[in-house]
Structure 1
Amino acid sequence: MKTPEQRKQASIAILQEHGVPYIDWLPVIEDASEARVRSAEEIARRAIACLITIQAAFDRYNGEYTPSVADKYQHILARYQLNDALTAEENTIYNGAGGEAEITKMTWKYEAYWTLLWALGIIPELDYPAHTIDCEAACQAVFDHQDFASFMTTVRLRPIEDILDQADLIYRYHWATRDAYLNGREAPAGLDDDVIVERHAALNWLIGVDDDWDNPDTST
């Protein structure tokens, strides 16, 4: 089991490998004893609710969110037993409220959702955050299953140590892209800041740093 400092040094070695800038004095993150270990069921409910809302957001973006389409999503949520699992912003999407900014923000949640799939053991790895996810695979991971119980048969929750490793690493990636932005530079080493922001948010939620899925704290 790594100490927070050992985890930090392992992350820095990865940054060095990819030529990503870093600072030695960026703090360590939580120890395993301080992190919240969320259950597989809690993570799965959040992931599936998020994915279904993303699909509704894309329909709204394309002007295809008709009453019959809205009804379809309500049936899907019911099928997965998730009617009570939605956040305030997810309800905004389903209710036809909010505008372009809220819709666009929801579509980017694909990256946070993908991170939850990784935590559930469905995605084999979180690769270098330089590109967006495979949206088709992201959808198939859930929609190949007819209900929540079927989806849960595919879940193998990762150890909290693995999740903390990724949380520490994304924290340092995010510092690099944020520092570049604040100093008028492009993101270094091919990093995609939009991907990093959502992955950082999901990992902070996974370790209990922030319970606010809609407006998470991703401070660096």
Structure 2
Amino acid sequence: MAAFSRHCADVVKHHVPDATSVRTRAIWYGDQTRSRVVWTDASGRKWQWPLYFAFNACLRKPAERDAIVLRSLQAVLNPPQPQDEDDAEEELWVPRTAEQVAQRLLALIAVVWRANASEEIAQQGIAWAREHGIDAFLSPQELRFVFNAQRPPQQDLVNFGWRAEAMLPMAWALGAIPTLPPSHRRADIWKIPLVQQARQSPADFIASASLRPDGEVSDEEHRLLDEHWHVRDAQLRRQPIPSGLDAGIVLERRYALSWMVGYGKNWDEVPTDT
């Protein structure tokens, strides 16, 4: 499947002149049904070409591989139009706006604050979220966690505490830091001036938010995707995680970047396949 995916990526580059950022996305040792090629066209629209059925068709008829691949690609580029266009759902991957990223960063501030080991400090975070209406930016899972009447289970505190690493790419995209630190080094997000500003005046923070160009964010997402692939590959092979990478840090930063470039219908459903 890996070689087939690379071949299909080359086909896209040859037959789709305006395709940029052509990438293969697949789980080589896991669920191959999700293998696909993704790219962006001149208008900024993100395309996805599922490969599983074409791959199996080529296994059955290897002599017809080129024709099968081209038919599969054309089906993606020129899908049949539904009779009732009002019922058609076209899945577009649109980069999140500066306002959306700022709101999401505020949501994560509340989440990570709630996950503090000190319940007294955590309650301060809950009060802050209520005072500034941050609940409007929280996902369903986050709402249940932040406003839980009881102290959440320890594992939930650990899991949501890791979202501090998801905050970092958003702070970077909003111009708070020049580069992301290495993916084995945890960051103290509370020391970042932009995060401090967001806590002090959430409304002003949203109003003044501006993002790096989409291309920069997309390039960083691709870099973290590559790091995530190496982590997953090592895990599946039961090998040590490559030097310079921490699995938890890579996952959280990649999750945030994939959300920013447009993947996932909402924050709770961002795909992290590799």
Q: 1:79 to 1:97 in 2, by over 3 A?
A: closer
Deviation at 1:196, TM superposition (A): 0.5
Q: Which residue number corresponds to residue 47 of structure 1? A: 105
* Structure 2 stretches lacking a partner, 5+ long: 1-17, 24-34, 47-92
Distance in 1 separating the partners of 2:224 and 2:177: 17
- Aligned residue for 2:254, secondary structure, equals helix
TM-superposed CA distance for 1:28, in Å, is 5.6
- The aligned residue for residue 33 of structure 1 is 45
* AA partner of residue 124 (structure 1): P
TM-score (norm 1): 0.76
Higher strand proportion (structure 1 or 2): 2
Q: Does 1:86 align with 2:138?
A: yes
Tell me the percent identity.
27
Q: How does 1:6-17 map to 2 (within 5 A)?
A: none
Partners of 1:57 and 1:215 lie apart in 2 by 21
Asked if the contact 1:81/1:148 (under 8 Å) is kept, the reply is no
Cα shift at 1:192: 1.0
Q: Is the 8 A contact 2:165 2:187 kept in 1?
A: yes
> Post-superposition shift, 1:99?
1.4
Deviations 1:102-122 (A, max 9, x none): 111100000111111111122
Aligned residues between the structures: 194
**Structure 2 SS opposite 1:84:** helix
Contact persistence 2:190–2:196 (CA under 8 A): no
- TM superposition shift of 1:79: 4.1
8 A contact 1:79–1:147 mirrored in 2: no
5+ residue gaps in structure 1?
A: 9-25
Most deviating of 92-101 and 180-189: 92-101
State yes or no: 1:197 paired with 2:251: yes
User: Which whole-Å CA distance do the structure 2 matches of 1:57 and 1:207 have between them?
Assistant: 27
Structure possessing the higher radius of gyration over alpha carbons: 2
Correspondence 1:142 to 2:195: yes
C-alpha separation in 2, matches of 1:142 and 1:170: 22
Separation of aligned partners in 2, 1:97 and 1:54: 14
Q: Which structure has the higher relative contact order (CA within 8 Å, separation 6+)?
A: 1
1:107-126 correspondence to structure 2 within 5 Å: 107-126=161-180
How far is the alpha carbon of 1:215 from its aligned partner?
A: 5.0
Q: 1:169-218 CA distances to partner (integer Å, 9 max, x unpaired)?
A: 11111110111111121111321111110011111111121134235321
Quick one: distance in 1 between partners of 2:128 and 2:21? 41
Alignment of structure 1 residues 62-81 onto 2, 5 Å: 62=118, 64-65=119-120, 70=123, 72-81=124-133
Structure 2 residue aligned with 1:11: none
CA distance in 2 between partners of 1:178 and 1:40 (Å): 31
